[in-house]
Chains A and B, each alone.
Chain A
Amino acid sequence: MMAFSEITTPKAAALHLLCSLSLLVVHWLAWNLYSWSLITHTSETLGLCLIVHGPIVIGVYSLVRRDRQHCSYWMAVARGLLGLPVGALVMAFGAIVLGAPVGIRYLKRTAYWSLLMSVFTFVPPACVFGSSRVDWHRIFAHFKPEESLDALVCLPAYGSVIGAWIGAWPMPLDWERPWQEWPICVTYGAVAGYWIGGLASSVFILIHGPVHVKED
């Protein structure tokens, strides 16, 4: 019998609201304090997002970690911190293979972007599941999450990856807009996907209810 707290709909919604709000707050802060925006100061804004959003995600997801008896809160945080660079490497590999520029000029942006993507995708499961192969396989093999915890972790992750993928499509258009630069519109797409994923996971938990969690 694994003991972990029930994830109710309000809780899940609050979690996603917090994560989503933090991004908005960063954007607002960057604009009002430094008058940065993603378009003018890409890498700085991405860095700021990372600094604010990263700790929030790690902190919040470590709260809902699985297997609480064997894993303390700080252990979960450490797992999240470890998952961050690993996920960033995977994300950077994916982006570069798909055609992201590799020049020195773009190095900083790519690094910040992939760290942020890692926070969206890899850090939550790392905090929640650790290195449990079964869990990782389950959440990445199933697009249909079976329980609320899975939905909480994987729907925003899928959302952000698919959003980033879709966000890359306007880049070759000849509109000559500054936001068509790498990785601005990809980031917009990823954030939009992340929000949609968060919303979807809240809805999922609302429909399925916290009952599923209890079964295990």
Chain B
Amino acid sequence: MATSSMSCGRLVSWISAAVLLQILGLWLFVSGFFPVKPTVPGFSGPESYRMPTCEDVLVDERRDLLPDQLAKMYMDLSQIPPAFDRMILMVIDGLPAEFVLGKGGQPPEKSLMDAMPYTQFLLSERRAIAFHAKAAPPTVTMPRLKAMISGAIGGFLDVAFNFNTQAFLDDNLLDQFYQIGWKLVMFGDDTWIKLFPSLFRRYDGVNSFYVKDTVEVDFNVSRHLEVELVANDWKLMILHYLGLDHAGHIAGRHSLLMNSKLKEMDDTIRLIHTHNALNGDDDGGRTLLVVVSDHGMTERGNHGGSSFEETDSLALFADLWSESLVYASNMHNEVFQVDVAPTLALLFGVPIPKNNVGVLLIEAFNSFTDEHKLRALELNSWQLLRLLQVHLPHLLCRDLREGASGGQVVQSNEYFDNIEEKLHHLYSKAMAAHTLWKLSERDSSGRSENSTNSYNAVASYYDFLRYGSEWLSHRATDKPIKLILSGVVLLLLSSVLLFYLLLLQFKDHGTERKFGSALKNCSCVWHLDETFVSVGTFLHIFSLGASSMVEEEQYTWHFLSSTMCLILFYMTMLSFLKEQQTVSVEMKKDGKLDLHQSQITHTSVAKYTARVILMKPLHTYFRIYSLLIVLICGRILRGWHQGGVNWAHLPDISKWLEQTSSSCMKAFEITSLLLVMMLSLFALSLLKSRTRYVLIASFGIVVLGFLVLLHIIENQPVNRSTSIAQIFYFNFGILVFGTFILSPWILPLNFQEHSDSHSSAVKTDGVLMGIQDSLYVVGVIYASSWCILQLLLQQPVNAIPMLLIFVQTMACIIYFSASGHHRQLVEVAAVYFLGMAGHFYLGNSNTLATIDVAGAFIGISSYSIIFPSVLMFIITFSSPILSYLSMLVCISTKDIVSLSLHERPDLSQLLNLMIAFPCLLPLVLNSAVLTTFTLILLVMRNHLFVWSVFSPKYLYVCAGTVSVYIGLYVVTVTVVYTCTVFFFRAKLLKFGNS
């Protein structure tokens, strides 16, 4: 047996190797799947009209300027007279550009042309110009609006890390307009109000939640038009129509609803375009109508992914002032959605937002002179250069001016291996062409030559801009497939390795059990419990493929953990039935057992077994009651928070409690605190040896409880409360760390009673008993102080759930310690299941919205990022970590004494016996979820809900993996330390005796 079992050191190193592989794979996948691009903080100011240099010094010169002065300064600096004074930004949610422009040079279908007669008239009369504006995934509204007004492509993690505020804080057009004193009004989708809570002078937000409604949402926008079009106080009016997107969601892309909706949109465009108040320049000035859509839609009307149908959005510019044809007739241009931002910024004379990766649409500048066009391109290039400089710090430190002023341009057909060189080359070329044009303009020698020069300058500017823009946006959205795949492979590899290690352990322990559990009396059931662990895990993993099962994961976990308990209950009842039926048979078996043990000749072990047999009926009742407690607590907890997404509004206990008075809530909190304290004190008092030490530990718990009590009674955001919390953290640290360090040294080795016998078996026995006691104390202290910490941090409404989870975990451990016939596998799995169910019992869900941000600032007096994040992690993963910590108690209640009957285990074997399963199994279960969900995310990357459901869930899975690592690390270190110290003490004692 000893030969077959893997030594502890080797096992630990294999496990660590697998964990390291997993971490590496996870890191590779995450960095591939969720690219983080560095955004530049702050807002563009006057500096954007200066050429960027190697060391760009940022001086905010706008601070003391009034809006009017700022606008004047921008106009002077830009050297371009603003073409327009007012703008109407009409957003038609979900309109594919194909409906207006057709596809591949072909005009759209006849029915679609007929549905939008006025728009088609504007386009054919060249009074408007329209583009296929390719949107970047995720094609859902909020990120797309952000892209249009900031010109930046955000990654998912940007959204995730700003979960406590939805307001848009990066540089954007709307804020730029606001700073130069524009008045903004907004009607339509309330996403705008979420993005800019305080920017709009007048607004009427409609909610996009009621997807079934296609009429009211748009009526609520259009009803404002009559009044607002006449009003002349606003400079920018945003109209966001949701009806077309809703029509798509209901009936798909080619439904009849769609045509009537298109007609309605066309009528709105006609109304605006022909409105008298906007056509004259009497008071309102020149107005630009911009019609954009945020994304397209698939054949079935969905969106979110990256297919052509979804990313094909529209950008249409119509000059309301001019009667004649203003625009060139190139209608089928394919541009990018982000190009809207620099175009509008330059048309209206504000600085281009800092993070913009778009390129201005020169066709919209048709009424500009060549000089102004080139100047606009130059400004756009400077802005892009500044952004490129963030990625490539040495880009501008090359001598740009030399290349430009000398007019000596390197030949373009050269091979560039370096992106910096390529960008540098393109930019110098553009500058040179611009300078050439300026020279020829000054000479005014030949008209034709001049226009050729201007054409060349525009073209070379575009070469640079497009190249830089594409490079930047690829950095933001490209998913490097090699990175992702290597990550997935590593994850798979580590899962397989962990599973293989578990199987090896299974084999070893399997042979062991045949000896160790002669007491087992229920071999008849073909391991229903073990089968369920694998089936349940498989079902859970399988269910993660469905978005609504991810949203409502709390049902899955409750169902699985309760079923697990019901199965255990069923097995207990069976053994109960059998016990009374076959008492005589049992007695015979016991006799045999005693005989077997007498060969080993060990009195205390015989006593131990005798005690076990005598206590059997009592144990059965224990088991039944503890399982009933687990089940009933679980049901109450399920009713505490409704959770999830679809049924979150239904009444539950927490909603009911929140309506009661705060004193009532405090009473609940204090009650649960006292009960947790009493339970942990009781658990500590069960230990018989060295009462003084246990008394000190109990005193530590009481102190912690008292501090939390003070905090609850205080419950005011004053300094004193903060200091109480800080004292609590300090005491918590001392208690936990102190117990961990001191317990193995102080608790007795249990040698005294057998001092007459000097056989080595007795010594081992004493050591084992000591280890058990010590682990028990440490485990109880860990678990109970963790619970008390949670009572401090969690919302008041979660006080009782925390108590119930603690009770559940303890009851579960009592059950397993009272019943000898389950494998350790089942025990660890049951505790793990309870921990995962508890995660959702505390009101957590798979959306980022349920993270308790307020609790993360308890006891924090100065600003920091790390400490609140740690607290937030502690609050969110309190229940899983509690379950890992209570594995220590599980380990200590296992009868390792009876396991060691047959031979004297050395340290390594003992460690292997104790921590192999508790460490491996959670790792295996978690890595199964992690790996599968990684694959699911990869498969679902074009799914509608990938950003709203699957990606947040992935963040939870990653954080859950971290919690597994932390919890198991603590368990392993504690067990290894305790065992080592005890063996060391035993050796010392041996030397002392001899």
Contact = CB atoms under 8 A, between A and B. Distances in A.
B578 A172 contact: no
Interface in B639-654: 639, 644, 646
A172 B556 contact: yes
Contact of B559 (A99, A134, A136): A99
Contacts of A168: 559
A1 interface: no
Given A99-B555, A172-B548, A174-B646, A137 B566 contact: no
Contacts of B562: 97-99
A102 B650 CA distance: 13
Interface in A166-189: 168-169, 171-175
Contact of A99 (B549, B558, B577): B558
Interface in B510-566: 524-526, 528, 539, 543, 546-549, 551-552, 555-556, 558-559, 562-563, 565-566
Contacts of A98: 558-559, 562-563, 566
Contacts of A133: 577, 580-581
Contact of A137 (B556, B574, B644): B574
Interface stretch (A81-89, A138-146, A195-203): A138-146
B524 A97 contact: no
B305 interface: no
Contact of A97 (B543, B547, B581, B635): B635
B581 A141 contact: no
A14 interface: no
B556 A96 contact: no
Interface string B771-787: 00000000000000000
B215 to A, nearest CB: 21
Nearest to B577: A137
B578 A97 contact: no
B638 interface: yes
Contacts of A175: 548
Contacts of A137: 574, 577-578, 581
Interface string B564-595: 01100010001001101100000000000000
Contact of A102 (B558, B574, B632, B639): B639
Contact of A173 (B548, B563, B581, B635): B548
A10 interface: no
B634 interface: yes
Question: Chain B at the A interface: mostly helix, strand, loop or mixed?
Answer: helix
Nearest to A168: B559
Contacts of B559: 98-99, 168
Interface in B117-144: none
- Which range contains the number of A residues in contact with the other chain? 20 to 34
A165 interface: yes
Contact of A143 (B526, B546, B551, B565): B526
A55 interface: no
A168 B562 CA distance: 13
Contacts of B551: 174
B635 A99 contact: yes
A163 to B, nearest CB: 14
B631 interface: yes
Nearest to B634: A97
A116 B524 CA distance: 30
| Chain A contact residues: helix, strand, loop or mixed | loop
Q: What range describes how many residues of B lie at the interface?
A: 20 to 34
Contacts of A99: 555, 558-559, 562, 635, 638
Interface in A63-106: 94, 96-99, 102
Contacts of B581: 133-134, 137
A29 to B, nearest CB: 34
A97 B546 CA distance: 25
Interface in B616-644: 631-632, 634-635, 638-639, 644
A97 B562 CA distance: 7
A97 B580 contact: no
A178 to B, nearest CB: 15
Interface in A133-162: 133-134, 136-137, 140-143
Nearest to A166: B539
B840 to A, nearest CB: 12
A141 B548 contact: no
B574 A165 contact: no
A99 B555 CA distance: 8
A193 B543 CA distance: 21
A141 B525 contact: yes
A138 to B, nearest CB: 9
A141 B574 contact: yes
A174 B632 contact: no
Interface in A107-147: 133-134, 136-137, 140-143
A97 B566 CA distance: 9
B552 A97 contact: no
A97 B631 CA distance: 6
Given A99-B555, A102-B639, A168-B559, A94 B525 contact: no
A141 B578 contact: yes
A143 B571 CA distance: 13
Which residue of A133, A140, A172, A174 has the most chain B CB atoms within 10 A of its CB atom?
A172
Contacts of A143: 525-526, 528
A9 to B, nearest CB: 27
A94 B646 CA distance: 25
Contacts of B552: 172, 174
Contacts of B635: 96-97, 99
Given A141-B525, A173-B546, A174-B548, A136 B577 contact: yes
A136 B580 CA distance: 13
A181 to B, nearest CB: 12
Nearest to A142: B524
B847 to A, nearest CB: 14
A127 to B, nearest CB: 19
Interface string B291-323: 000000000000000000000000000000000
Interface string B476-504: 00000000000000000000000000000
Contacts of A171: 555
Nearest to B524: A141
Most buried by A among B525, B539, B547, B635: B635
A150 B131 CA distance: 75
B633 to A, nearest CB: 10
A99 B561 CA distance: 11
Nearest to B574: A141
Contacts of A97: 562, 565-566, 631-632, 634-635
Nearest to B631: A97
B480 to A, nearest CB: 34
Contacts of B528: 143
Interface in B424-440: none
A94 B549 contact: no
A143 B644 CA distance: 36
Contacts of B548: 172-175
Contacts of B555: 99, 171-172
Contacts of A142: 524
A142 B580 CA distance: 18
A140 B539 CA distance: 25
A174 B634 CA distance: 24
Contact of A165 (B563, B632, B638): B563
A143 B562 CA distance: 21
A186 to B, nearest CB: 12
A94 B566 contact: yes
A99 B581 CA distance: 34
26 contacts: A94-B566, A96-B635, A97-B631, A97-B635, A98-B563, A99-B638, A102-B639, A133-B581, A137-B574, A137-B578, A137-B581, A140-B577, A141-B525, A141-B574, A141-B578, A142-B524, A143-B528, A165-B563, A168-B559, A172-B548, A172-B644, A174-B548, A174-B551, A174-B552, A174-B646, A175-B548
Given A99-B635, A141-B574, 4 more contacts: A97-B562, A143-B526, A172-B555, A173-B548
Rank and list the top 7 A-B pairs by shortest CB-CB distance, nearest first. A172-B552, A174-B548, A137-B577, A172-B555, A97-B631, A173-B548, A98-B562
